[in-house]
Structures are given as structure tokens and as C-alpha cells.
Structure 1
Amino acid sequence: MRIALGLQYDGSAFSGWQTQVNQPTIQDELERAITSFVGNDTQNSHPIRVVTAGRTDAGVHALGQVVHFDVEVERDDWSWVRGVNAFLPESIVINWAQAVANEFSARYSAYERTYIYALHAGPCRSPMAADRAGYVMLPADRWFDIDAMRSAAKCLIGEHDFTSFRSSECQSKTPVKTIFSIEIFSNEPWLYFRITGNAFLHHMVRNLVGSFIQIGVGKQSAHWMAEVLATKNRSVAAPTFSPAGLYLAKIAYPEEFNIPKPWLSSSWLPKAIFV
């Protein structure tokens, strides 16, 4: 049978989602936990391998990650949640589990992904937000030009070639992606970006945030974003911003699969940005 899981994790201690040799990863921890819960080879004759909706980078977090895996044993939904969580570290938690149709794919059935970036700004960084938010040093009497950033975001909506915001290590077959919405929430000393699209390139959100910050602090004009997009040249965009404030917030699937919405009550981020 095929099982889907919804999970959250603090990615600050991990080298990203995808399994790596001699590096701690979310995938390895999750597969070990599921295998431990399922039991020995007499109960399941194939290694547990999970398929994820989105592979997060080192230091990046998730509030609404979705995975699926195939297994030969049967458990009720709540048993999967309790059982797998018993073998996971405190930084990773399963929020829900359910049996799904074999045609469901956590990756390929998804039609929309939402990322949130949390940013703290001011004269001093916040130790309470270490590894949980990005930081920009600003004088106490200054704040970002929110109108300029929102104006810059307009050129990014729709289907575009996002090569200018693509990591050189990106494995996507095409740089063409579609962004459905970009929303910027200002609540000094906090700034939040919510970006929704069909899919994202490696480092794409962090590169966009870095470029927004250049505009927000006045180093570039709002029109600069369109110029960067048009060049299809990574070197002209801003440097890749910190992974600390990036959260994979939500994955959307066709209603026929009945996939639960992310469980967000445990998040320290404002609930308003998830609406």
C-alpha cells in the first residue's frame, strides 16, 4: 500500500533533504524511522524509500512537507504518526498520515508549492531567531521600502525563464517556472515573503529574497528586478541569501487525493501569513 505523510522539521542541523554520504539529512532520518517502525525484513521485504514533494537545502525548514512511500504492512493512520515519531529526533515530526491511491505522487501530483521567508531587521540580530530567520542590519530609524519591493514583484508573476535566480548546481530540466503570487508582509522588526509557484529552481527563493532586499534598502530600483530577470544571467542578481529563514510552507494537490492541509498551530510564525 502507498502511505502519504505530512511533516515539519527544523532543518538547521541537517545538510538538506536529500540523502548524502556521511552527512545528516532529513531523508535518511525519516527512512530510518519508518524502517524501525515497520520492523524486520519478514514484515517488509523491500527497503523503505520516500518520495518528497520538494527537496529543501541545508538549513532550510518545512512546515508542510509531504512525502509518500510504498510498504507491505498495514497500520491505521494514527499508528503511523505515533510509531514513526517515536523513532525521529525532536527536530522532525510527522503531523498526519494516510493511505493514498497508487497513482498519487508526493512530487508529481503537486501542482503548487508555497515558500515563506522570515526576515528580522534592525541594529542588532535576535539570538532567539538564530537559524530560524534571516537577518539584515538596519539603523533603528530605517526600514525597507515595502512599496518598491512590491512593485518589483509584479514582473515575476507568470511563466518566465528564471535563469538569473538559478543555482549553478540546479538539476531542473528547464529554468522556466510559473510564479502565481508574491506577497510581502511588513511588521517591524519582521518582514515576511510568501511566494507561491508551480515549482522552484535550486536556490531560487533565496536568490529572489536577496534581490528584493537590495531593492528594499535602496541599493537598486524597483525596475532593476525586471532587468535582472531579462538578462537570464545569474551573476547580475544579488547573492544567495541565508537559508535560515526559508520554510517550505504548503504543497497543493488535486482535491481527489484528499491530502490534509499543513498543521500550523505549532509554528512560531504569524498565522496570518498562511491564509
Structure 2
Amino acid sequence: MPRYRLDIEYDGSAFSGWQRQAGQASVQESIETAILGFCGEEIRIRGAGRTDAGVHARGQVAHLDLSRDWPADKVQGALNAHLARAGAAVAILAATKVEETFDARFSATARHYLYLILNRRAPATLEKDRVWHVPRPLDPEAMHQAAQELVGHHDFTTFRSVQCQSKSPVKTLDLLDVSRDGDIIAIRASARSFLHNQVRSLVGTLERVGAGAWTPQDVAVALEARDRSACGPVAPPGGLYLVAVDYR
């Protein structure tokens, strides 16, 4: 059976998340419904990351196996046509034939996330549900300094959701970078894999530093506590984007 890689973009605002859930709209179900409409096959696709409700993607990756050897551009075009007909805020950016050993989740070597904070007094209009609006002034340099306390190989229990199903809280955070461009503070995070709610937990804690409520040393202490109650508030989902997934 031919295997295809899908590169996917979506607005997560109207979805319960990536993963199919009974009685709720999901990105996975939207794409699987489009596949059924295209070729009549009921299949399950596997994504590189299970984004939560309200989280967006510019570079999600999934794979699927079809019984017929369709041209890749036909798969892309047909799925986009069915998604558009259904009014789903999902686009297939590319469809590519891959080896049967390719697995969107387990073949990934790195995942890259972007979190956007709109830091101004005026509320979000054009960016509503796509940023976290923080009206009080934030110090991005202090946030970046604190972020470096979190880079590396650590036990991230403090920044892990109690619903996390990962076998271990130990992860290697390769990058956590904070920068500012105008009213937008961008936080970029990269790792081979992340814990449930990890990025949003990190961002919420860094916001406390930017607001002057925490110091970088407070962040280091929270990390070492290995206690969920030591975490800052979890940032809302609308500012988070899965921007890319790396493969060998």
C-alpha cells in the first residue's frame, strides 16, 4: 500500500484538538472525512503531535496508507477540495509519497513550536484567538534570560500537565528563545518531543518573569522543585503554533 506524508496547516480555534474525539470536532476527523469523500476509504491517520483544543499549526505532519497508488498532487488537491467544501479551517500544504517505514510521529527528530504574545494595552482584533493578549508591559530580555534556565536535559515535572501520559517527565529542551518585534513577543521552543502542556506551562511561567513577579532564579527553583504546583499559570492555547517537524 502506498504511504503518503501530509504537511498540514490549520486554525485550531474551532477544534477540540488534533486527535479524534467522540462528539467533538477535531482536525484528525476533518482530514479523515475528506479522505473518505475523496477515495471512499475509512482510515486513521497518524499525526506528528497531538495539539490541544485551540492550538494552531503551520507545519503539522501526518501519514496515511491508501489502497490505490494515487499521484501525490491529486491527493493534495482532492483533500483540499473536500476540506473547503466542509468549511474546515484546514489546508494540506503538500502531499508526498514516502517509504513505508516513514512514521509521522516516531520518525520525527525534532518539533518546533512558536508562541505569540500581543503585549499592548489595546485588545486583539485581527489576531483574536491567535495570540495571548497581555496588556501590562513585559520585559522580553528578562524572559529570555529566565528561559535559558530551562534549556537542556531536565526533569520537567513542574511544567507537565497532570493528564500527561508520557512515561517519563525527563526531556531535552534544545531551544527556548524570547524576542520582541513591535507589540509581538515571540517565544520559540524546540525539542525532539514535549510533555502535555509543556510549552504553554513554560510560557505562562516566563510571562511572570516579564511582568516582574518572578526572577530568573525563581524559574530555576521551580524547575528543581519537580512539583506541578510550583509552575506559573498555563498560557492560553490560542497563541501556540506547531510550526515545523524535522525528519532525517
Shared fold (TM-score greater than 0.5)?
yes
Of 46, 51, 70, the match for 2:46: 51
CA RMSD of aligned residues (A): 1.0
Structure-2 residue corresponding to 1:26: 27
**Residues 208-223 of structure 1 mapped to structure 2, 5 A cutoff:** 208-223=202-217
Q: Distance in 1 between matches of 2:57 and 2:140?
A: 26
Quote the offset at 1:65 in angstroms: 0.3
Structure-1 residue corresponding to 2:126: 128
Structure-1 residue corresponding to 2:91: 93
Give secondary structure in 1 for the equivalent of 2:62: strand
Structure-2 residue corresponding to 1:268: none
Of 113, 116, 119, the match for 1:115: 113
TM-score, normalised relative to structure 1: 0.87
Overall identity of the aligned pairs, in %:
40
Quote the offset at 1:147 in angstroms: 2.1
Structure-1 residue corresponding to 2:7: 6
Quote the offset at 1:226 in angstroms: 0.7
Give secondary structure in 2 for the equivalent of 1:115: strand
Amino acid at match of 2:112: T
Give secondary structure in 1 for the equivalent of 2:23: coil
Amino acid at match of 2:29: D
Quote the offset at 1:156 in angstroms: 1.2
Amino acid at match of 1:101: E
TM-score, normalised relative to structure 2: 0.96
- Runs of 4+ residues over 2 Å off in structure 1: none
Q: Distance in 2 between matches of 1:129 and 1:32?
A: 29
Contact 2:119 2:138 in 1 (8 A): no
Post-superposition Cα deviations, 1:33-57, rounded to whole Å, max 9, x if no partner, equal 0111112xxxx5xx31101000000
Structure-1 residue corresponding to 2:74: 79
Post-superposition Cα deviations, 1:114-147, rounded to whole Å, max 9, x if no partner, equal 0000110121212111111111122xxxx32222
**Residues 128-167 of structure 1 mapped to structure 2, 5 A cutoff:** 128-138=126-136, 143-167=137-161
Q: Report whether the alignment pairs 1:183 with 2:177.
A: yes
Of 204, 224, 230, the match for 2:198: 204
Q: Report whether the alignment pairs 1:251 with 2:245.
A: yes
Quote the offset at 1:90 in angstroms: 4.5
Amino acid at match of 2:90: I
Contact 2:143 2:210 in 1 (8 A): yes
Of 45, 57, 68, the match for 1:62: 57
| Structure 2 segments unaligned to the other structure (5+ residues) | none
| Structure 1 segments unaligned to the other structure (5+ residues) | 255-275
Post-superposition Cα deviations, 1:231-267, rounded to whole Å, max 9, x if no partner, equal 011111111111001000000000xxxxxxxxxxxxx
Quote the offset at 1:188 in angstroms: 2.6
Q: Distance in 2 between matches of 1:78 and 1:185?
A: 37
Alignment coverage as a number of residue pairs: 244
Quote the offset at 1:182 in angstroms: 1.3
Q: Distance in 2 between matches of 1:185 and 1:126?
A: 19
Amino acid at match of 1:152: A
